[in-house]
Amino acid sequence: MNQHSHSLPASYDAAPLELTRRAWPWPLLTLLLVAFVLIPVLGDDYWLNAILIPFLILSLAGLGLNLLTGYTGQTSVGAAGFMAVGAFATYSLLLRVPGLPLPLALVGGGIIAAGVGFVFGIPSNRIKGFYLMVTTLAAQFFLEWVFTKFPWFYNYASSGTISAPRLELFGYDLHSPLGRYLLVLTSVVLLTWIAVNLVRSQIGRNWMAIRDMDTAAAVIGISVDRHKRLAFAVSSFYLGVAGALWAFAYLGTASASSFDINRSFQILFIIIIGGMGSIAGNFIGAAFISLLPLLLNQIGQGLLSGMVDAGQLQNLQKIIFGMLIIWFLVKEPEGLIRLLANLGERLKAWPLRF
């Protein structure tokens, strides 16, 4: 590649052979094999229910927000609001459209969330940066309020809580932990695959151009407003599906308060810590944010239980968690994914660095 870097890239047909020859992505295939075959065989209820399912769903939500914030540069703190739309829309579809298969209900929930996201993306035509962030904050509170205020959304349940009516696919009951894990995994893998291709496509490149400098993007003929709204819609689609999975495949129930501002912050932290503008970063960020506190809790109990007072032990875990976040961000502001990439580069040249 290096000798070509000062000229225009060659066309695809005339490109050097190594560009067109596709190598099998062995590490990825191994990972998928582990996820689809090994984990269902080995994993127990605790691992599936409490670790892997929430981790995958939060990764998906992070991915959704990353498309908007990391790739298009539009900061949003309304992620959980759009998750709520997805959850309540999927619930409504399953409840009110008899015989609708689950995948279609999920996609439908996503599409409705995308529509709502599109509407809340309209202000991005005129306002940018922190001001736009405030409008997404308004979206968060507005959506939370809507799903508390109007009982139609939760089918007039006395407590405002929705629960999964049925989880089945072509006659298979997906209620077992394994079934729910496979449902989540399949959705996440499919949507991640689409996202990878999306950001490599014309649309993704336009998004990144807008992120890097929207005036320049407009000058080279990209329709900035349209692409920003599109980013809002696509991002909300992902968040909506994640919200529906969170409600039905993970907890089994949800109410508006399951998707409060804290959830939005959690997702924002996932992408900041994992890495903005990176697909794999979402997974690493989600692991860090959702699994590290559990790990610390387990370690704390294993090592210090009985020696340190329980209250202080738990405060200590919070302190350690906070310090790790600061330390990682000071070390590498571009996120954990960059840290890992640097580590990989170093390892390649490891014994003979100079």
Partner 1 sequence: MHNSVRRVFVGVALSLSLQTPLISLVQAAPNEQFVPLATYRVGPYASSGIPWWAGTLDYLRYINEVEGGINGVKIAWQECETEWSTDRIVECYERYKNGKDGAPVAFFLTHSTPASYALMEKGAADKIPLIDPAGGRTESSDGRVFPYAFPLLLTYYGQASVGINYIAQREGGFDKLKGKKIVTVYHDSSYGRETQAAIELLANKYGFENIQIPVAHPGNEQSVQWRQVRQLQPDWVFLRTWGVSTPVAIKTAARFGFPVDRIIGDVWAGSEADVIPAGPAAKGYQALAPFPGGDSFEIHQRLREHILNKGKSDLKDLSYFGKVYYNIGLVNAAIVVEALRAGQAHFGHRPLNGEEGRWAFEHLNVDEQRLKQIGFSGLLQPLQVTCADHEGGGAARVQQWDGEKWVLVSDWIQADRETLQPLIEAKSAAYAQEKGITPRHCQAER
What residues make contact with partner 1 under the rule CB under 8 A?
A: 45-46, 49-51, 54, 145, 148-149, 158-161, 163, 165, 175, 250-253, 255-258, 293-294, 297, 301, 305-312, 314-318
Q: Give the rounded distance of the alpha carbon of 98 from its chain centre.
A: 30
Min CB(137)–partner 1 separation in Å: 15
Min CB(174)–partner 1 separation in Å: 13
Report the 10 Å Cβ neighbour count for 316.
Answer: 15
Min CB(187)–partner 1 separation in Å: 19
Residues 6+ apart with CB under 8 A from 281: 62, 66, 70, 271, 274, 275, 335, 336, 337
User: Side chain identity at 292, as an amino acid letter?
Assistant: L
254: left (phi over 0), alpha (psi -120 to 50) or beta: beta
Say how many CA atoms lie within 13 Å of 258 toward its Cβ.
25
47 vs 328 by CB, closer to partner 1: 47
Min CB(342)–partner 1 separation in Å: 23
50 vs 218 by CB, closer to partner 1: 50
Min CB(294)–partner 1 separation in Å: 6
Which tokens hold the place of 250?
């993970």
Do residues 332 and 339 lie in contact, with contact meaning Cβ atoms separated by under 8 Å?
A: yes
55 vs 71 by CB, closer to partner 1: 55
Distance (Å) of CA 42 to CA 177, 180, 265: 13, 16, 33
**Dihedral sign (CA 20, 22, 23, 29):** positive
DSSP E strands in the chain: the ranges are 162-163, 168-169, 172-173, 253-254
Do residues 24 and 155 lie in contact, with contact meaning Cβ atoms separated by under 8 Å?
A: no
Cα–Cα distance for residue pair 122/138, rounded to 1 Å: 13
94 vs 231 by CB, closer to partner 1: 94
75 vs 176 by CB, closer to partner 1: 176
Min CB(107)–partner 1 separation in Å: 23
35 vs 316 by CB, closer to partner 1: 316
75 vs 253 by CB, closer to partner 1: 253
Q: CA angle at residue 20 from 17 to 24, to 5 degrees?
A: 110
Min CB(119)–partner 1 separation in Å: 22
Min CB(278)–partner 1 separation in Å: 25
75 vs 148 by CB, closer to partner 1: 148
Q: Quote the DSSP letter at residue 38.
A: I
